[in-house]
């Protein structure tokens, strides 16, 4: 994905899942690799978050303290543009089962709309694009969060 052609195309199309699909076809790259590159090179106020259904690392030890721990939809990894103003995105942070992002995990249907999301003690109102995806044999949710400036 050479910068000389990627950035003008990205700037013309804007950061979105649709743009990522288009650019991944043009450059013959994976959707995920294209989205990461979009976060590195994009000028929008956006973040990419991949969620998976798991325990927190401490809960995986299954000692007495965490014996009854339940899996939750948690941040697996994240990236954001330089212009991101949504604050710190903590790894392993869970999301409520009332969330539309969780609904994507539960139903397997994509979502596009607005939602308030709590990230590290900070609640943000974001436009959300989310879709189910399988990574390393795990069902995940890939989400793009967009903040309006």
Measured in whole angstroms, the distance separating CA 40 from the mean position of its chain's CA atoms is 14
pLDDT of 25 reads 94
pLDDT digits (tens, 9 = 90+) for 89-104: 999 999 999 999 999 9
pLDDT of 149 reads 61
Number of residues written out for the chain? 149
Helix/strand/coil for 42: coil
Query: What pTM did the predictor assign?
Result: 0.91
Q: Are 127 and 114 spatial neighbours (Cβ–Cβ below 8 Å)?
A: yes
In this prediction, what percent of the chain has a pLDDT beyond 90? Answer: 74
**Which string of DSSP letters, residue by residue, matches 75-135?**
EEEEEE-TT--S----TT-B--TTSHHHHHHHH---EEEEEEEEETTEEEEEEEEEEEEEE
Helix/strand/coil for 33: helix
Run means of pLDDT, 10 residues per run, the chain, 149 residues: 89 94 95 95 94 81 65 94 93 93 97 92 92 93 91
pLDDT of 67 reads 64
């Amino acid at each position: 994905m050479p910068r000389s052609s990627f950035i003008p195309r990205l700037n013309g199309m804007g950061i979105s899942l649709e743009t990522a699909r288009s650019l991944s076809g043009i450059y013959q790259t994976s959707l995920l690799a294209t989205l990461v590159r979009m976060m590195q090179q994009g000028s929008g106020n956006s973040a990419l978050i991949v969620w998976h259904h798991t325990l927190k690392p401490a809960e995986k030890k299954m000692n007495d303290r965490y014996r009854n721990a339940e899996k939750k939809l948690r941040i697996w990894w994240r990236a954001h543009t330089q212009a991101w103003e949504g604050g710190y995105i903590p790894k392993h942070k869970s999301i409520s089962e009332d969330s539309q992002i969780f609904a994507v995990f539960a139903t397997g249907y994509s979502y596009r709309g607005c939602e308030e999301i709590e990230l590290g003690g900070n609640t943000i109102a974001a436009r959300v694009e989310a879709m189910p995806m399988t990574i390393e044999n795990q069902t995940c949710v890939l989400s793009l969060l967009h903040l309006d400036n």
